[in-house]
Structure 1
Amino acid sequence: MIKDTLTTLPQYLLPQHTLSRLMSRLTHSKNVAWKNFFIRQIVRHYGVNMDEALEPNIEAYPSFNHFFTRELKPGIRPLTSVPNAIACPADGAVSQAGQITAGTIFQAKGKSFTAVDLLGGSAERAAPFQDGVFSTIYLSPKDYHRLHMPLTGTLREMVHIPGRLFSVNAATANVVPGLFARNERVAAIFDTEAGPMALVLVGAIFVSSVETVWHGVVTPPTVSSVQSWRYDDNAPTLQIGEEMGRFNMGSTIIVLFGKDRAAWAEDLAAGKSVRLGEMIGKKL
């Protein structure tokens, strides 16, 4: 814990948004020598499996960000066929999963945050998830960084919530109170057969860019107050397994369901590696 604290404390002093803007410029650079060097370093250091990529040749990517948000080969992540299954929205590792107790979501030992804070301070927006369930999935730099639908859903609202850009790794989650409700994030709320479902895309240091398939890039720019978009007319409906958004650099997605609407698989617990499309729970 002391090591985690010493690693995390300097982040309070860093110009987080400035560093993220600088990283965005670097990752979108089309300088051939730079982007090829950067991609090779990430592939080598993190063990990225390029055999799964639709384009395995790193030199074919126009920029590092094109590589980072790369498509996978068709069929490489089969969608679960289990009846009533909730599909995993991303490749990654479970940070936490469990019950939303009295509106509170568990983050790490001794730390939690509220659904109200996570969803931008609106008690009305958070009410459908009271005493429901949540799962938090962390995407590492080696992972596929597109996000997909756990269930078929019709978009009701999207919310852009400003905040800090702390790292979202396990060490920082152990130290920073209310981490996921402090970082900048985009929440998309869908109507599904299991009732309301929230997908919260949490930004992090060097990861301030989030985009969705219906809107495009939501952030940057960052904002000074909560912004929301309602989709009461001509709302898009996305099928289970369909792409819904992506991180330009990696971060965390949090999935919320309401009370008695969904149940997670028994083995969905902190530290478990998960893959896009596999069953992580069932709708009730």
Structure 2
Amino acid sequence: MTAKPPASPDAASLGEHLRNLPQYLLPQGAVTAWVHRLTRIRAPWFKDRLIRWFIGRYGVDMSEAANADPGSYADFNAFFTRALRDGVRPLAAEPATLVCPVDGAVSQAGAIAGDTVFQAKGHGYSLTALLGGAAVDAAPWQDGAYATLYLSPRDYHRIHMPVDGTLRAMLHVPGRLFSVSRLTTRCVPGLFARNERVVTLWDTAVGPMALVLVGAINVASMQTVWAGTITPPRGGRVRRWDYPASGEARVHLARGEELGRFNMGSTVILAFGPGAIAWDAGIHADAPVRMGQPLARPPG
């Protein structure tokens, strides 16, 4: 008998809303800019202590790192975005299988109801808003499938391609910097469509794919392998880059290839078109995931 996935948590209580209230009052941009500077201090007496404290506090497994010596990193951010040793995240063996792009945990996964994506019990948000506000960009994913993947502080923070793909467009969407913790997802309506994010839109063998990097408090920077650092600067308007399907400016990444990284951690949201994929049995709310494990398969 197949085990049922855990039930969604109850709607947030009054106490949880009160615990979450300070996030509305924090100067989110100023705090995040301060973290950006702090995590790039190179003084050994400071960065070495911070790195060793973080490893102990969050139980980081340095045996998986390509460089296992905490003192050898130039600054905290270099440690936080560390590479892994070859072979510690093997890709799912079947070439047609889509692979998980990150280490972390599944926050939610399922079907998109028209333009509405499920966030937490009592909360949904607009797919169109998530992808930058243009209905034409969101149309391929209406009534499709989505997965929200949360990266905790202890996780590996590089993001990889689930499937071979050619980049069609990238958008930087400015916004708030709420935490993306479970408490906040239960308390802040439309959280993922309100926070700052980098939206990437791809053509793949299973049809169009959207992969969204969602910023959060203390996520001082997001970057991609083809364009470098996207944020900061933060700005006040949506920025868009379109890419050709062929030629020297074409961006094509293979399944499992690095796409980008969070300089401090957050959340990745994936979207696929209607009927394009079937989620692997291991992809359900609260399930831990590792980069390279089976994520989904083409139907049939």
Q: Please classify the TM superposition score into its range, dividing by the shorter chain length.
A: over 0.9
SS at match of 1:41: helix
Alignment-derived partner of residue 172 in structure 1: 184
Tell me the amino acid that sits aligned with residue 250 of structure 2.
A
Alignment-derived partner of residue 257 in structure 2: 242
2:157 counterpart of 1:145: yes
Tell me the amino acid that sits aligned with residue 76 of structure 1.
V
**TM-score, normalising length from structure 2?**
0.93
Alignment-derived partner of residue 66 in structure 1: 78
Give the stretch that moved more between structures: 197-206 or 80-89.
80-89
Give the stretch that moved more between structures: 262-271 or 117-126.
262-271
Alignment-derived partner of residue 43 in structure 1: 55
Which of 153, 175, 188 aligns to 2:200? It is 188
CA distance in 1, matches of 2:82, 2:223: 14
Give the stretch that moved more between structures: 38-47 or 239-248.
38-47
Give the stretch that moved more between structures: 7-16 or 59-68.
7-16
SS at match of 1:112: strand
CA distance in 2, matches of 1:78, 1:88: 11
What RMSD in Å do the two structures reach over aligned CA positions?
0.9
Give the stretch that moved more between structures: 169-178 or 33-42.
33-42
2:90 counterpart of 1:90: no
SS at match of 1:28: coil
2:213 counterpart of 1:208: no
Which of 154, 163, 185 aligns to 2:175? It is 163
Q: Shift of the alpha carbon at 1:82?
A: 2.1
Alignment-derived partner of residue 3 in structure 2: none
CA distance in 1, matches of 2:165, 2:131: 18
1:106-165 Cα deviation digits (max 9, x unpaired): 000000101101001010000000110000000000000000000000000000000000
CA distance in 2, matches of 1:220, 1:246: 14
2:140 counterpart of 1:128: yes
- Equivalent pair of 2:151/2:265 in contact (CA under 8 Å): yes
Which of 89, 99, 104 aligns to 2:116? It is 104
CA distance in 2, matches of 1:170, 1:82: 33
- Equivalent pair of 1:184/1:208 in contact (CA under 8 Å): no
Tell me the amino acid that sits aligned with residue 114 of structure 1.
S
CA distance in 2, matches of 1:109, 1:7: 18
Q: Runs of at least 4 residues of structure 1 off by over 6 A?
A: none
SS at match of 2:250: coil
CA distance in 2, matches of 1:217, 1:114: 27
2:275 counterpart of 1:272: no
Q: Shift of the alpha carbon at 1:280?
A: 1.4
- Equivalent pair of 1:165/1:208 in contact (CA under 8 Å): no
Tell me the amino acid that sits aligned with residue 289 of structure 2.
V
- Equivalent pair of 1:196/1:258 in contact (CA under 8 Å): yes
CA distance in 1, matches of 2:260, 2:81: 10
2:238 counterpart of 1:223: no
Which of 258, 273, 280 aligns to 1:258? It is 273
- Equivalent pair of 1:153/1:238 in contact (CA under 8 Å): yes
**TM-score, normalising length from structure 1?**
0.98
- Equivalent pair of 2:35/2:220 in contact (CA under 8 Å): no
CA distance in 2, matches of 1:185, 1:96: 18
2:92 counterpart of 1:80: yes
- Equivalent pair of 2:171/2:200 in contact (CA under 8 Å): yes
CA distance in 2, matches of 1:37, 1:2: 38
CA distance in 1, matches of 2:280, 2:236: 38
Q: Shift of the alpha carbon at 1:83?
A: 4.2
Aligned sequence identity (%): 51
Tell me the amino acid that sits aligned with residue 156 of structure 1.
R
Give the stretch that moved more between structures: 238-247 or 263-272.
263-272
